[in-house]
């Protein structure tokens, strides 16, 4: 029933969850008394057990007769169960055929789960059951600071992975981290986890962990929540130790450490030999030995669904786009792509659409014209995401710059490149053209790793296994809006020169051609910057020449010709007609014309 548990439809208990030293009979009785559905795993062993048949079945049927619980016999192995108190109940799998007798036992288990799912649907439709289920079977003590977000969308796989990881074993403390870029939805995912699986815990402690002092204050708040007998004790260290002892002595609790900035601030949490579970959120991609889930941007359909819900163009209960006009689906998907699938940005866009009634197409057109201004806009109603995209990363940028001017300049360069697959070689071989402080990166792996350490701490960069980097396009947008026009021009010029310096030779020797294809999106982005800034220095001619040669090698002659012509015009303007660069471009242009059988155009260029 893993799928049902992951979806938050059911929570399960069986006697192997009993901890060592616990009184098993009283625990079983307590669980039987609060269960809504009691599944009897019927076999010859079950029938022969005095405790199972005499005690557990008796109590289960009592609750069934009193309409307090539903009892489902599941026939695991063939046995004689006629004449039992549960004989009159519909058994699973279908037709009363024991699981062990099916040719495919997996199919039998699917049939059992489908049967339980049908029972759940019937129970949920029963007003009497709904009234009873509205009253929790157990009182959960918590200090969750936010209401459940009714607009929470997707992340089912992540929630399922977290649930499975945190429930590997009940007797040991387990820790899971959720990491990712600011605005990716880490806190919202932790919040949804806490509410979805709330009934599986006796206590849920939520501590904001962005600084050592807030962690200590949070632990002090937990002591008050637990009503620990500390008397008039005011010493913070004593209070914290008392909370840690409680965690070591009790099980069934969940500790959420939200927005961990420094892992030194949460040292000792959870305490050694603790018996609960810990979930933490952090922007850092380095989480030590803790297991973690790196939260990705939303898939296009998932993002479109969130956008439409937030814009109040789709009912919150709708779980798919099926009921949405195809035209609106297409526009919502396009906005999701423009915003890079970032949940914070999608929520912000939906709030703007709802409050201004500008519609999806209106927002899309406005975003393309005024994206910087829209990223500063924040709806004034129902602030489930209280921060704006434009301010979410500001503190991270400032901290990076304070910690390392090299990392700060590195980020400025990445802001102007194509966001996907930025070659590390650009910094290895083009560092001297970028800025005085970035010259330290020229082939120095240690210096490069130090820059990565600062940027990965806030998930501002993703380092890929193939020696490339990725930056979210909205991070680029916000970084660019923080630059003055003069700064933007200076950094654009530096990027152009670094691309020209580091671009691989356009040939098939060694690994040159694969590297050319890797560089191609960056040079295309560079051409866009050239047009914006109207650059005409020699490296610009070199880039147009390189771009034209790559197109020629791919037999894209129509695209190659204007690029080589542009390279020739700029080089003649900048360095004159008697330079080797001009001669090389003339030769390549002549060869292009010859390949197209334009011999009259090619002949004068060979002379």
Answer yes or no: do 360 and 453 share one domain: no
CB-based burial of residue 334 (10 Å sphere; 0-12 exposed, 13-18 middle, 19+ buried)? middle
Which tens digits make up the pLDDT trace of 10-25?
Answer: 667 666 656 556 667 7
Report if residue 531 sits inside a domain: no
Do 163 and 285 belong to one domain? yes
Q: Which domain holds residue 220?
A: 141-294
Mean pLDDT along residues 567-582? 92
Q: What is the pLDDT of residue 40?
A: 87
User: pLDDT by residue (tens digit) across 411-455?
Assistant: 999 999 999 899 999 999 999 999 999 999 988 889 999 999 999
pLDDT > 70: percent of the chain: 90
Instruction: Encode pLDDT of 138-161 as tens digits.
Output: 578 999 988 888 899 989 999 999
Is the pTM here over 0.75, yes or no?
no
- Cβ atoms 108, 169 nearer than 8 A: no
**231 vs 319, higher pLDDT:** 319
**pLDDT score of 535 more than 70:** yes
pLDDT score of 206:
96
Mean pLDDT of the chain: 87
Q: Do residue 161 and residue 61 come from a single domain?
A: no
Integer Cα distance of 354 and 348 in angstroms: 10
The CATH number linked to 271 is: 3.40.50.300
Based on its alpha-carbon atoms, the radius of gyration of the chain, rounded to whole angstroms, reads: 32
210 vs 235: which has the higher pLDDT: 210
Asked whether the predicted pLDDT for residue 135 surpasses 50, the reply is: no
**Cβ-proximal residues to 231 (8 Å cutoff; 6+ apart), any chain:** none
Whether 400 is covered by a domain: the verdict is: yes
Token readout for 67 is 């309409």
**pLDDT cut 90: percent of the chain above it:** 52
56 and 177 in a single domain? The answer is no
Indicate the pLDDT class of residue 536, thresholds 50, 70 and 90.
Answer: very high
What is the per-residue burial (b if ≥16 Cβ within 10 Å, else e) of 387-398? ebbbebbeebbe
Q: 136 pLDDT band (50/70/90 cuts)?
A: very low
Banded model confidence at residue 378, pLDDT cuts 50, 70, 90 = low
| 487 pLDDT more than 80 | yes
Q: Phi and psi of 468, rounded to 5°?
A: -125, 170
Work out the average pLDDT over 182-199: 93
**Mean pLDDT to the nearest integer, 35-48:** 87
Q: Is 225 exposed, middle or buried (0-12, 13-18, 19+ CB in 10 A)?
A: middle
Looking at the fold, whether 150 and 277 belong to one and the same domain comes out as yes
Confirm whether 591 is domain-assigned. Answer: no
Confidence grade of residue 381 (pLDDT, cut at 50, 70, 90): very low
pLDDT reading at 4 higher than 90: no
Residues 62, 155, single domain; the answer is no
- In terms of domains, do 269 and 321 share one? no
Q: What's the whole-number mean pLDDT along residues 583-606? A: 87
Q: How many residues are listed for the chain in this entry?
A: 607
Predicted confidence (pLDDT) per residue in 424-433, tens digit: 999 999 999 9
Q: Judge if 381 and 398 occupy the same domain.
A: no
Q: Is residue 127 very low, low, confident or very high in pLDDT (cuts 50, 70, 90)?
A: low
3-state class (DSSP) for residue 254: strand
Per the domain annotation, does 479 fall within a domain? Answer: yes
Residue 188 pLDDT: 94
Is residue 102 assigned to a domain? Answer: yes
- Confidence band, pLDDT 50/70/90 cuts, at residue 385: very low
Q: What is the pLDDT of residues 321-366, one digit of tens each?
A: 988 999 999 999 999 999 999 999 999 899 889 989 999 999 999 9
Q: Are 179 and 295 in contact (CB under 8 A)?
A: yes
Give the pLDDT confidence score for residue 171 in this predicted structure: 45
CA angle (570 as vertex; 569, 573 as ends), nearest 5: 90
Are 334 and 367 in contact, with CB atoms under 8 Å apart? no
Q: Is residue 224 pLDDT above 70, yes or no?
A: yes
Residue 460 pLDDT greater than 90, yes or no: yes
120 vs 533, residue with greater confidence: 533
Q: Could you tell me if residue 575 is inside a domain?
A: no
Q: Same structural domain for residues 380 and 414?
A: no
pLDDT tens sequence across 82-116: 888 888 888 888 888 899 998 888 888 888 888 88
| Mean per-residue pLDDT, 205-225 | 92
Hey, which residues does 422 pair with through a beta bridge? 469
User: Band of the pLDDT at 578, cuts 50, 70, 90?
Assistant: confident
In a domain, 45, yes or no: yes
Domain boundary, last residue among 250, 273, 294: 294
Tell which of 259, 294, 329 closes a domain: 294
Query: Do residue 313 and residue 437 come from a single domain?
Result: no
Q: Measuring CA to CA, which residue among 77, 73, 74 is closest to residue 100?
A: 77
What gap in Å lies between CA 320 and CA 301, rounded to an integer?
8
Domain edge (last residue) among 245, 273, 294: 294
Instruction: Say what the pLDDT of residue 384 is.
Output: 47
Of residues 553 and 230, more confidence is placed in 553
Give the chain's domain count: 4
Same domain, 223 and 240: yes
H or E stretch including 415?
none
Residues 107, 148, single domain; the answer is no
In a domain, 508, yes or no: no
The pLDDT value recorded for residue 95 is 80
Angle at 96 between CA 92 and CA 99, to 5 degrees: 65
């Amino acid at each position: 029933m893993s799928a049902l548990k992951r979806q938050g439809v059911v929570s399960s208990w069986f006697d192997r969850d009993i901890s060592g030293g616990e009184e098993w009979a009283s625990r079983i009785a307590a669980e039987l008394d609060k269960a809504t559905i009691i599944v009897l795993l019927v076999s010859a062993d079950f029938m022969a057990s005095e405790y199972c048949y005499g005690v557990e079945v008796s109590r289960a049927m009592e609750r069934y007769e009193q309409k307090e619980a539903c009892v489902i016999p599941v026939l695991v192995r063939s046995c004689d169960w006629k004449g039992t108190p549960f004989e009159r109940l519909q058994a699973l799998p279908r037709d009363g055929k024991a699981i062990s007798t099916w040719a495919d036992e997996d199919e039998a288990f699917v049939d059992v789960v489908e049967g339980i799912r049908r029972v759940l649907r019937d129970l949920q439709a029963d007003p009497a059951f709904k009234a009873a289920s509205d009253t929790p079977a157990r009182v959960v003590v918590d200090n969750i600071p936010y209401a459940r977000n009714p607009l929470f969308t997707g992340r089912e796989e992540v929630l399922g992975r977290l649930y499975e990881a945190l429930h590997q074993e009940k007797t040991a403390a387990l820790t899971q981290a959720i990491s990712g870029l600011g605005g990716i939805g880490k806190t919202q995912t932790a919040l949804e986890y806490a509410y979805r699986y709330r009934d599986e815990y006796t206590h849920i402690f939520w501590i904001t962990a962005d600084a050592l002092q807030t962690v200590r204050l949070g632990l002090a708040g937990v002591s008050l929540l637990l009503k620990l007998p500390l008397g008039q004790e005011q010493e913070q260290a004593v209070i914290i130790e008392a909370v840690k002892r409680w965690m070591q002595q009790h099980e069934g609790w969940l500790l959420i450490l939200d927005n961990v900035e420094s892992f030194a601030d949460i040292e000792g949490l959870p305490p050694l030999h603790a018996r609960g579970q810990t979930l933490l959120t952090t922007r850092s991609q380095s989480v030590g030995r803790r297991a973690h889930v790196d939260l990705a941007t939303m898939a296009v359909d998932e993002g479109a669904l969130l956008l439409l819900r937030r814009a109040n163009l789709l009912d919150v209960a709708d779980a798919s786009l099926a009921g949405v006009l195809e035209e609106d689906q297409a526009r919502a998907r396009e906005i999701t792509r423009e915003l890079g699938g970032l949940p914070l940005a999608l929520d912000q866009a939906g709030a703007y659409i709802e409050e201004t009634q500008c519609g999806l197409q209106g927002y899309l057109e406005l975003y393309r014209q005024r994206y910087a201004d829209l990223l500063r806009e924040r709806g004034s109603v129902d602030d489930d995401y209280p921060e704006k995209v434009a301010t979410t990363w500001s503190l991270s940028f400032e901290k990076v710059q304070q910690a390392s001017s090299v990392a700060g300049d590195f980020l400025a360069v990445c802001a102007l490149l194509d966001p996907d697959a930025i070659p590390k070689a650009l910094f290895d071989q083009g560092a001297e053209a970028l800025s005085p402080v970035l010259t330290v990166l020229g082939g120095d792996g240690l210096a490069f790793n130090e820059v990565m350490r600062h940027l990965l701490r806030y998930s501002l960069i993703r380092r890929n296994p193939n020696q490339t980097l990725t930056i979210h396009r909205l991070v680029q947008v916000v970084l660019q809006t923080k630059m003055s026009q003069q700064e933007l021009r200076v950094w654009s010029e530096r990027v152009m020169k670094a691309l020209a310096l580091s671009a691989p030779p356009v040939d098939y020797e060694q690994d040159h051609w694969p590297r050319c294809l890797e560089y191609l999106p960056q040079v295309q982005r560079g051409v866009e910057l050239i047009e914006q800034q109207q650059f005409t220095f020699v490296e610009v001619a070199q880039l147009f020449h390189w771009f034209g040669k790559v197109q020629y090698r791919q037999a894209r002659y129509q695209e190659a010709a204007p690029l080589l012509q542009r390279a020739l015009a700029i080089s003649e303007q900048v360095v004159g007609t008697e330079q080797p660069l001009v001669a090389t471009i003339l030769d390549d242009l002549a060869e292009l014309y010859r390949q197209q059988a334009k011999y009259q155009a090619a002949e004068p260029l060979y002379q």
